[in-house]
Structure 1
Amino acid sequence: MDREQEEMQFLGLFGIYKEAFKIMYSWRRLLGQISLVLILPLSVIFLVHMEVSEVLLSKIVHNEIVLDDTRAGSPTYNKVSDVLSSEWTTYWLFKAAYFTILLILSLLSTSAVVYTIACIYTGREVDFKKVMSVVPKVWRRLMATFLCSYLFFFVYHILAFVVLVICILGFGSTKAFFSISVVLIILFLVGFVYLTIVWQLASVVTVLEDTYGFGAMIKSKALIQGKMGVTALVFLKLNFSFAIIQGLFENLVVHGASLGIVSRVGFGVLCSLLLFNLFLFGLVVQTVLYFVCKSYHHENIDKSALSDHLEVYLGEYVPLKARDVQLEQYHV
């Protein structure tokens, strides 16, 4: 990034995109290596999960229909029941393995890309070997932030459920119930988007600052103030693109038996390439957005301090201290 930090506060949506594309093009070799090792497997696993889940669920649904049409207690009933139990076990074990691998690869990818962009920002020499040596040590901090974010989402959904129950009990039989439900759904979605934005930026904060977990969430919340519009647009555009790719894969590959095996494989490869590029672009954009928010709040990052703390000392990742990155405020 060749912009002065004071200038970054003025970047809008397209300015952030332009900066992200510039970084991806200038450092395409290094980011390509990271993508092939971490982000491409992440994309493939996500898409393969959709296909495998569909196959497993179709078998389960078929056997449940057979079970409903079979006399209870008969040998056939007991056999189908055992098969169904085994299929449900397989399905949930597959889901558990999928979410575990997805989480690990997501955290590793975030660590690698954010660390790389920060090195680029400071002008520090960085290569694939150095990135991969730092990543395993950074991702543990990201795990703590993820667990705190998960707790926030869990509590948020519990509160939303309680509000829904109160709404049904209080207004379920009135004409205003529909209007109230629409308002509550909109408020729920706004809150969900807000929490997601805070969590995503908190991941960048976790890698680049000495805070993680709840502290990173609080710091992220403070950073997006004043830049909520552009951060929301970035989030919505990325997720809209993600939904399009997911929909294409589901319709052309998962449910595209009539297209033939060759066409389905071709569309599968295309969706994988689109998805892994979107994942990479999203991580680069999040990191650029972090520097934009820092600049907006007049928090000037000392590049030399950031560079020093991005190094690996004695085989351990040393996070930034608050006095290094909390930054002295400049005035314009």
Structure 2
Amino acid sequence: MDREQEELQFLGFFGIFKESFKIILTWRKIFSQITLALILPLSFIFLAHIQISQLLFFHILDNEDSLDHTPKNTPRYAKLSDVISSERTAFWAFKAAYFTFLLILSLLSTSAVVYTIASVYTAKEITFKKVMSVVPKVWKRLFVTFLCSFALVLVYNIVAAVLLISWAVFVGFSAFGATIFVLLLIVYLIGFVYISIVWHLASVVSVLEPAYGFKAMIKSKALIKGKMGPAVGFFILLSACFIGIAVVFENFVVLGMVPGAGIKILVAIVCFLFVFKLILFGLVVQTVIYFVCKSYHHENINKSSLADHLEVYLGEYVPLRAKNVQLEDFHV
């Protein structure tokens, strides 16, 4: 990162966008290696999940339709029931496997990118071998933070469900009720976006600071104040891009809206290219936002101390100590 930390606080949406691209282009060799090792498999799993899920789901629907037109208490009915039960089990087992591999590769990719950018920021020599030796140890801290975030989202959705049931029971589908529902939906989406942004920034905190889990989320919540606008802008932009890619892939490749195997293959390749570039860009952006937030709150990071603690010591990842991360404030 060419900018001094004092300058980072002034970066807005487009400044962060430009800085992220500059980092990727300047250090394209190491990011290409990380992409090949971690982000490409993650992208493949993301798109393959859409393809396989739809195939399994449509197969279950076809068998259920056949079951509806089959007389009960017949051998064919019993056989179809067993087949549908097995297919449902396979469907949910596939979903569980997908989310497991998605989580593992996502956390590993986050660890690798955050560690790499921190090394770039401190002008420390960085190699792919060193990144991959540190990543498995950083991953454990990220996993704890993810579990805490998941628990928070679960509680948030339970509260939202209770409010929705209360709305249905006490207000109903009148004109006034529809207005209340829209307001509740808006509040829910705002809260969900906020929690998601705090979690993403907490992932960076978990790698670069001693805090992880709920402590990292509390730290992230404090850091994001003042830079919520750019963070929300990037979250909406990246989410819209992922949704758009998923819709295009599902309609053109899975459902085959446009005939021709050649077109399907071309669209699949384009979607794949966009997905892995988008994942890499998103991870770089959330790390840059972390440094921007630190600068905005005048929390100066001592580069030499950060570099020392990013080293692998006797084969073990040494986390940053509080005195080296929460350093003296600087004043502009």
TM beyond 0.5: yes
The CA deviation string for residues 208-253 of structure 1, in whole angstroms up to 9 with x for no partner, is 0001000000000000011111111111111111122111111111
Structure 2: runs of 5 or more not aligned: none
The CA deviation string for residues 261-296 of structure 1, in whole angstroms up to 9 with x for no partner, is 222112111101100000000000100000000000
1:16 aligns with 2:20: no
Compute the displacement of 1:58 (Å): 0.7
How many positions carry a matched residue from both structures?
Answer: 332
Q: Structure 2 CA distance, aligned partners of 1:251 and 1:321?
A: 50
The residue that corresponds to 2:31 in the other structure is 31
The CA deviation string for residues 190-209 of structure 1, in whole angstroms up to 9 with x for no partner, is 00000000000000000000
The residue that corresponds to 1:145 in the other structure is 145
Q: Report the 3-state secondary structure (helix = DSSP H, G, I; strand = E; otherwise coil) of the residue aligned with 2:70.
A: coil
Percentage of matched positions with identical amino acids: 61
Structure 1: runs of 5 or more not aligned: none
Amino acid corresponding to residue 63 of structure 2 in structure 1: N
Q: Structure 1 CA distance, aligned partners of 2:240 and 2:81?
A: 41
Compute the displacement of 1:258 (Å): 4.2
Flag as ranges the 4+ runs of structure 1 deviating above 6 A.
Answer: none
The CA deviation string for residues 291-317 of structure 1, in whole angstroms up to 9 with x for no partner, is 000000000000001001100111111
1:243 aligns with 2:280: no
The residue that corresponds to 1:92 in the other structure is 92
The residue that corresponds to 2:168 in the other structure is 168
Amino acid corresponding to residue 188 of structure 2 in structure 1: F
Amino acid corresponding to residue 321 of structure 1 in structure 2: R
Q: Structure 1 CA distance, aligned partners of 2:175 and 2:137?
A: 56
1:70 aligns with 2:48: no
Kept in 2, the 8 Å contact 1:257–1:264? The answer is no
Q: Report the 3-state secondary structure (helix = DSSP H, G, I; strand = E; otherwise coil) of the residue aligned with 1:103.
A: helix
Kept in 2, the 8 Å contact 1:24–1:31? The answer is yes
Compute the displacement of 1:183 (Å): 0.3
The residue that corresponds to 2:282 in the other structure is 282
The residue that corresponds to 1:225 in the other structure is 225
Q: Report the 3-state secondary structure (helix = DSSP H, G, I; strand = E; otherwise coil) of the residue aligned with 1:176.
A: helix
Compute the displacement of 1:56 (Å): 0.4
Alignment RMSD: 0.9
Q: Structure 1 CA distance, aligned partners of 2:54 and 2:169?
A: 37
Q: Report the 3-state secondary structure (helix = DSSP H, G, I; strand = E; otherwise coil) of the residue aligned with 2:211.
A: coil
The CA deviation string for residues 161-203 of structure 1, in whole angstroms up to 9 with x for no partner, is 1111122222116531010000000000000000000000000
Q: Structure 1 CA distance, aligned partners of 2:108 and 2:174?
A: 51
The CA deviation string for residues 37-56 of structure 1, in whole angstroms up to 9 with x for no partner, is 10011011100100000100
Kept in 1, the 8 Å contact 2:252–2:258? The answer is no
The residue that corresponds to 2:122 in the other structure is 122
The structure-2 alpha-carbon separation of the partners of 1:32 and 1:173, relative to structure 1 and needing over 3 Å to count, comes to closer
Amino acid corresponding to residue 126 of structure 1 in structure 2: I
Q: Structure 2 CA distance, aligned partners of 1:110 and 1:326?
A: 22
* TM-score for both structures, normalised by structure 2: 0.98
Q: Structure 2 CA distance, aligned partners of 1:167 and 1:88?
A: 33
Q: Structure 1 CA distance, aligned partners of 2:316 and 2:70?
A: 62
Kept in 1, the 8 Å contact 2:202–2:217? The answer is yes
Kept in 2, the 8 Å contact 1:147–1:213? The answer is yes
The CA deviation string for residues 2-48 of structure 1, in whole angstroms up to 9 with x for no partner, is 10000000001111011111010011111001001100110111001
Q: Structure 1 CA distance, aligned partners of 2:58 and 2:211?
A: 45
Query: Greater shift after overlay, 233-242 or 131-140?
Result: 233-242
Amino acid corresponding to residue 264 of structure 2 in structure 1: R
